[in-house]
Amino acid sequence: MCDICGCQLHEHHHHDPKVVEVNRSLLEANQKQAEANRHYIEHMGAVAINLISSPGSGKTTLLERTIDELKESCGIGVIEGDIETERDADRIRAKGVPAVQLTTGGACHLDAPMVHGGLHVLEHLAKGRRLDLIFIENVGNLVCPATFDLGEHQRVVLLSSPEGSDKPAKYPATFKSADLVLITKSDLLPHFDFSVEEATSQVHLLKPELEIITLSATTGDGFLRWLTYLRRLLAQRLPHAH
C-alpha cells in the first residue's frame, strides 16, 4: 500500500471517519482533474488510452509494435508511469515518438494531477506535430490504478498468459472498469497453464459485453484486431467517459 492512494479504502481501518474523509476528498479532487485532463486531450484532438496490468504483462512491447504499425498514419504520444527509472520511456523514444516518463517514487499508480503535468510536457515534446493517440502506460499493478480516472477515454486491461487465467476473479474491480481486455503473450500459451476460455468466462461474469482480444506483440498473432480497435476509436473521435 502506498501512502497517497485510495487503497486505504480497502483496509480494515476504513471505519475511521477521518480516513474515509481524506480518501473521499482525494478521489473527488482526482476526478475533477481527470475531467479537466479529458477536455484538454479532446482540445488537442486526441484520444487517450490508459493501459493497466500487472508488471511484466507486455505493455511496453505492445506499444512498441503498435507504434511500428501506426506511426506513419497517425500521431502517437506516450506517458510512461513507473516507480523508478526511464527505461520504458527510452524504449518508446527509440521508436521515434514523444514519450514522457512519470516516476512516482513509490506510489503504486498514476493519478490525474501527475498525468496533467505529463500532458503539457508531451505536447511540448511533440513540437507542433498532431497527436491522435495518447497512450498512458500505468504503473504495473492490478489494484490501485482501477480507482483513479486519469482523463482517459478508454481503459485497456492486459492479462498475460504467464500470469494465470484466474486474475479476473481475483481482481474484479480492475476488469469491471475495463473497456477492453487484451490477453497478451499468446505465443506462450502452449507453455503455461492458462485457459483462454476460463479467463473469458471470468471476465464476462463481471462485464458480459466486454470485448476480449487474444494477441502476441512478438509474433503479431491477433494484432490486427487490436489495430482495428484503435482505428475505430480514431474514426469515431467520440470519447467514452467512465
Please report, as a single letter, which amino acid is at residue 157.
V
Please, what is the average pLDDT of the chain? Answer: 90
- Angle, CA of 85, 88 and 91, to the nearest 5°: 125
Q: What is the pLDDT at residue 12?
A: 41
Domains and CATH numbers, the chain: 6-236 (3.40.50.300)
Q: What is the pLDDT at residue 9?
A: 42
Q: CA-to-CA distance for 226 and 204, rounded, in angstroms?
A: 19
- Angstrom CA distances, 45 to 11, 60, 76, 104, 164, stand at 40, 24, 12, 27, 38
Model confidence pLDDT, tens digit, residues 150-179: 999 999 999 999 999 999 999 999 999 999
Question: How confident is the model over 42-66, as a mean pLDDT?
Answer: 97
Instruction: Please check the confidence at residue 142 and state whether its pLDDT lies above 90.
Output: yes
188: left (phi over 0), alpha (psi -120 to 50) or beta: alpha
Q: What is the pLDDT at residue 239?
A: 46
Q: What is the pLDDT at residue 33?
A: 97
Instruction: Please check the confidence at residue 241 and state whether its pLDDT lies above 50.
Output: no
Q: What is the pLDDT at residue 18?
A: 64
Instruction: Please check the confidence at residue 15 and state whether its pLDDT lies above 80.
Output: no
Percent of the chain with pLDDT over 90: 81
Question: How confident is the model over 99-103, as a mean pLDDT?
Answer: 94
pLDDT band at 129 (very low <50, low <70, confident <90, very high): very high
- Among 40-54, 101-115, 214-228, which stretch is predicted with the lowest mean pLDDT? 101-115
- Among 15-24, 133-142, 147-156, which stretch is predicted with the lowest mean pLDDT? 15-24
Q: Which residue has the cell 476480449?
A: 212
pLDDT band at 8 (very low <50, low <70, confident <90, very high): very low
Instruction: Please check the confidence at residue 10 and state whether its pLDDT lies above 70.
Output: no
pLDDT band at 240 (very low <50, low <70, confident <90, very high): very low
pLDDT band at 197 (very low <50, low <70, confident <90, very high): very high
Q: CA-to-CA distance for 124 and 218, rounded, in angstroms?
A: 31
Residue 18, exposed/middle/buried by CB under 10 A (0-12, 13-18, 19+)? Answer: exposed
Question: How confident is the model over 212-216, as a mean pLDDT?
Answer: 98
Q: pTM (2 decimals)?
A: 0.89
